[in-house]
Amino acid sequence: MDLQTYLKEQKARVDAALDRFLPPEQEEPRVLHQAMRYTLFAGGKRLRPILALAAFEAAGGTDDTRVMPLACSLELIHTFSLIHDDLPAMDDDDYRRGKPASHKVFGEGVAILAGDALFAAAFDVALQAPLPPEVLVRALRELTWASGPEGMIGGQVEDLEAEGQPPTAERVLRIHRKKTAALIASSLALGGIAAQAPEVEVQILKEAGLAMGLAFQIVDDVLDEVASEQDLGKKSHKDRARGKCTYPRVFGLERAREDARAYAQQAKEILQRAFGPKSLRLQQIADFIVERSY
Amino acid sequence: MDLQTYLKEQKARVDAALDRFLPPEQEEPRVLHQAMRYTLFAGGKRLRPILALAAFEAAGGTDDTRVMPLACSLELIHTFSLIHDDLPAMDDDDYRRGKPASHKVFGEGVAILAGDALFAAAFDVALQAPLPPEVLVRALRELTWASGPEGMIGGQVEDLEAEGQPPTAERVLRIHRKKTAALIASSLALGGIAAQAPEVEVQILKEAGLAMGLAFQIVDDVLDEVASEQDLGKKSHKDRARGKCTYPRVFGLERAREDARAYAQQAKEILQRAFGPKSLRLQQIADFIVERSY
């Protein structure tokens, strides 16, 4: 199966699982469930869940319905962060994935609570994974690390604080590592955890995931500089306008593209060395992440 | 030991544990850790953690350091909800526990993220409880239930949606049950879970906790009506001004006080029947909750 077909099929499976795990829109409080589903199903490649599924395979896992709830919880955490990130007090984005942002549709109060509820749902869904309790506990530790002050939320704060500050190499790498790469690193790690791979393999997956995550965020920065709003489904040049600390602002566009490629290459080499051909899908996805920018 | 001394000593123990579990202010991102600690240590009775400790005792638990991380996670979830609740898009409160609200000190963006980070920390801290993995998994299921759409966050949404709507008995009970009583119910349940009590006892604790939680919120509504701002450390008559769905607005002050007392009494009877004198502290706390209002 070629990569495009694989990505499409996995996305469909993840979407179906998300739909099953989330309360229906008709359930009270309706506006909350509507808001949760609105942003969750507004599009999105389901990159993080797909990475978890592919890492599960690379680590020798069979029957990936065992990792699916964890995969879904990654997307729930990601969507929670998007909703809060778009708020006027944060990045102040009116559009997300080509549609009005949550707070434009439901108001700020409900948008904040929908984000909160998606975060709660992430743990609720993760806890439904059919795994031995000690494996589940290990997986939840990974999720809290990836989302907390050392990961995504910490990165969002540093991103906010960095606005208007001089962009430096150290700062942009720290922000990207925490805000984006941590959750992507944990996506791969969770695949390994669910496959009950030895801890050393989980750490190798995480290391490869960190490199993939950096590649991903650098490409995102590049796209914000060069793509039109139609391509992105959100405002382009937004980062520049807000004085965000982005990779191209520090290193220039050319170097940014090169470094994204180098990080993807690094991820592939780590994976190939540790997992060989079982990691082919993950390696293809690493390539896919950087090809988006050309 | 009389109740006042007990409450004071348990609060000191909970505060010390919270201080140990949370990253220090000096750790990056500093502003996030400062904001997390600012509201967490701005005061507060630590009612939910103390209830968990007392329920642990009632359910026959020994060595309550085993339940302490879960007790702390309840306070982290409660504080997260306070920070988001005070935001301009929600209840728009400038003061909390007699001090400026988080968003007044740190700005809305950091306040939102500090709330998010406290929620993440709640799970992180809970996962540190020295309990068998299957008990930990059970405890986390309780926490996600209490905080999610069926519990606190769902209640916050319904509270927000009810503003300006005619207050009805059904609506006020549903909001109070979800927004406040669910987390208090789970505080007691977590004590039972950590004590590894049979599930039926956990459910009895939860039922008693639900009644205590309703008593607590009704008293809160009464205090908002009758207390001065100095007593409350936040604006009084705020609920009335915003057209909130409160118990006194539906039933009147007198009936509100009576019902709070009746719910507390109900909680005590449930506890006495199931746990006898081991539940004395819990029963005293049930009384304490309603005595606040006289």
Q: Is pLDDT larger for residue A270 or for residue A229? A: A270
Which residues, numbered 109 to 128 in chain A, qualify as contacts with chain B under a Cβ-Cβ cut-off of 8 Å? 109-113, 115-117, 119-121, 123-124, 127
A64 CA: distance to closest CA in chain B (Å): 21
Give backbone dihedrals phi and psi of B100, rounded to 5 degrees, phi first. -55, 140
With beta carbons less than 8 A apart as the criterion, state whether A59 and A197 touch: yes
Mind listing the pLDDT tens digit for each residue in A200-234?
Answer: 999 999 999 999 999 999 999 999 888 766 666 66
Which residues from chain A sit within 8 angstroms of residue B128, using beta carbons? none
Q: State the Cα–Cα distance between residues A275 and A152, nearest whole angstrom.
A: 27
Q: Is the pLDDT of residue B235 over 70?
A: no
- pLDDT band at residue B97, thresholds of 50, 70 and 90? confident
pLDDT of res. A234: 65
Q: Is pLDDT larger for residue B9 or for residue A227? A: B9
pLDDT of res. B71: 98
Which residues from chain A sit within 8 angstroms of residue B112, using beta carbons? 84, 87, 89-90, 112
pLDDT of res. A217: 97
pLDDT of res. A238: 73
Long-range contacts (CB closer than 8 Å, 24 or more residues apart) made by B237-244 = B238/B91, B238/B93, B242/B91, B242/B163, B243/B163, B243/B164, B243/B165, B244/B159, B244/B162, B244/B163
Mind listing the pLDDT tens digit for each residue in B39-92?
Answer: 999 999 999 999 999 999 999 999 999 999 999 999 999 999 999 999 999 999
Q: State the Cα–Cα distance between residues A255 and A260, nearest whole angstrom.
A: 8
Two tokens, residue B111: 């306040």
Give backbone dihedrals phi and psi of B96, rounded to 5 degrees, phi first. -150, 130
Type of residue numbered A255: R
Two tokens, residue A86: 């778009």
Task: For B122, name the nearest residue in chain A, comparing CA atoms only.
Answer: A144
With beta carbons less than 8 A apart as the criterion, state whether A223 and A253 touch: no
pLDDT of res. A26: 94
Q: Do A117 and B149 touch (CB under 8 A)?
A: yes
pLDDT of res. B239: 77
Q: Do B140 and A123 touch (CB under 8 A)?
A: yes
With beta carbons less than 8 A apart as the criterion, state whether A191 and A268 touch: no
pLDDT of res. A243: 81
* Residue B137 contacts A where some CB pair is shorter than 8 Å: yes
Within 10 angstroms of residue B154's Cβ, the number of other Cβ atoms is 27
pLDDT of res. A228: 66
Q: Is the pLDDT of residue A244 over 90?
A: no
Q: State the Cα–Cα distance between residues B199 and B172, nearest whole angstrom.
A: 29
DSSP secondary structure letter of residue B178: I
* Residue A27 contacts B where some CB pair is shorter than 8 Å: yes
Give the length of chain B. Answer: 294
Which among A123, A161, A193 is the top mutation candidate for probing chain B, defined by the most B β-carbons within 10 Å of its own β-carbon?
A: A123
With beta carbons less than 8 A apart as the criterion, state whether A140 and B123 touch: yes
pLDDT of res. A288: 97
Which residues from chain B sit within 8 angstroms of residue A88, using beta carbons? 108
> How many residue pairs from chains A and B have C-beta atoms closer than 8 A?
151
Which residues from chain B sit within 8 angstroms of residue A111, using beta carbons? 89
Which among A25, A32, A106 is the top mutation candidate for probing chain B, defined by the most B β-carbons within 10 Å of its own β-carbon?
A: A32
With beta carbons less than 8 A apart as the criterion, state whether B178 and B42 touch: no
DSSP for A218-262 reads HHHHHHHHHS-HHHHTS-SSHHHHTT---HHHHH-HHHHHHHHHH
Q: State the Cα–Cα distance between residues B187 and B196, nearest whole angstrom.
A: 14
Which residues, numbered 233 to 272 in chain B, qualify as contacts with chain A under a Cβ-Cβ cut-off of 8 Å? none
- pLDDT band at residue A241, thresholds of 50, 70 and 90? confident
Q: Is the pLDDT of residue B293 over 60?
A: no
Two tokens, residue B208: 């008693």
Mind listing the pLDDT tens digit for each residue in B144-189?
Answer: 999 999 999 999 999 999 988 899 999 999 999 999 999 999 999 9
Task: For A152, name the nearest residue in chain B, comparing CA atoms only.
Answer: B117
CA angle A26, A83, A162 (to 5 degrees): 170
Q: Do B28 and A90 touch (CB under 8 A)?
A: no
Q: Which residue's structure tokens are 């790469």?
A: A181
pLDDT of res. B233: 66
Which residues from chain A sit within 8 angstroms of residue B144, using beta carbons? 120-121, 123-124, 127
Domain of A101, CATH number, reads 1.10.600.10
With beta carbons less than 8 A apart as the criterion, state whether A24 and A64 touch: no
Two tokens, residue A18: 């998300």
Q: What domain count does chain B have?
A: 1
Q: Do B23 and A149 touch (CB under 8 A)?
A: yes
Q: Is the pLDDT of residue B294 over 60?
A: no
pLDDT of res. A292: 77
pLDDT of res. A38: 98
Q: What is the mean pLDDT of chain A?
A: 95
- pLDDT band at residue A259, thresholds of 50, 70 and 90? very high
Within 10 angstroms of residue B274's Cβ, the number of other Cβ atoms is 18
DSSP secondary structure letter of residue B43: -
Q: State the Cα–Cα distance between residues B275 and B205, nearest whole angstrom.
A: 9
* Residue A28 contacts B where some CB pair is shorter than 8 Å: yes
- pLDDT band at residue B219, thresholds of 50, 70 and 90? very high
Two tokens, residue B192: 């039972």
* Residue B79 contacts A where some CB pair is shorter than 8 Å: no
With beta carbons less than 8 A apart as the criterion, state whether A146 and A75 touch: no
Predicted model pTM: 0.96
pLDDT of res. A227: 78
Q: State the Cα–Cα distance between residues A252 and B115, nearest whole angstrom.
A: 35
Q: What range defines the domain where residue A14 resides?
A: 3-291
Which among A144, A150, A174, A245 is the top mutation candidate for probing chain B, defined by the most B β-carbons within 10 Å of its own β-carbon?
A: A144
Which member of B28, B109, B121 has the closest CB to residue A90? Answer: B109
Q: Is the pLDDT of residue A293 over 80?
A: no
With beta carbons less than 8 A apart as the criterion, state whether A152 and A177 touch: no
DSSP secondary structure letter of residue B128: T
With beta carbons less than 8 A apart as the criterion, state whether A285 and A54 touch: yes
A106 CA: distance to closest CA in chain B (Å): 11
Beta partners for residue B95, in sequence order: B100
Cis peptide before A29 (omega within 30 of 0): yes
pLDDT of res. A236: 66
